[in-house]
Structure 1
């Protein structure tokens, strides 16, 4: 497992533990905090990838869509976020909330793979 993934897993485990200790009234704040950490990690990875490409690395993602690493990373992030989103949906609206949450997750992933990739430096 990559160091970035290990760090996110530790953060996620800590968030779940804190949720258990603090209770449901702090759930929204804990989820927001975890989302910020995930966003920071994703931005850092994208910056590293862009720097690698600028320095002469492979021209990944130049075919008009996101490359495999981008798609895979995005899918992992959405699946990690699916856990609290699913829980919130079920608590608030039952099975309907769960289905709506997963429809949104699926829609975001499909949109990410279908939208054209921005080219920089061409």
Structure 2
């Protein structure tokens, strides 16, 4: 038996003992007092449960907001594309000016590489990466890692 249950049982026993000693004229007040204690216990249990569920929901929301796909917004993709194009101009000029065609190719390979990594980060299913992840880990019931 739970300690709270034993405490409640003791309260009920004390209420019944008081009723025997005081008589039936105090029965209503004793019952009301006991029911008030029961209500307080129920309210406390409900409040603890609601707080726990709220905390769990907050933890899930925080975990989901930190997931890689959670920041995948149109603005982020657009901004990254603009920054890549803006930086491509001076990188192309420096690479082409220093090492001519090979320097230009290295500069553009770097720009394309950074954009591919960014695209793969924002969309794990791109380039077949999601399939490899699913095939590599079959520990879950549906084959996907949590």
TM category (shorter chain) comes to 0.3 to 0.5
More helix by share: 2
**Larger Rg computed on CA atoms:** 2
TM-score (norm. length: structure 2): 0.35
Query: Greater relative contact order (Cα 8 A, min sep 6): structure 1 or 2?
Result: 1
The TM-score normalised by the length of structure 1 is 0.42
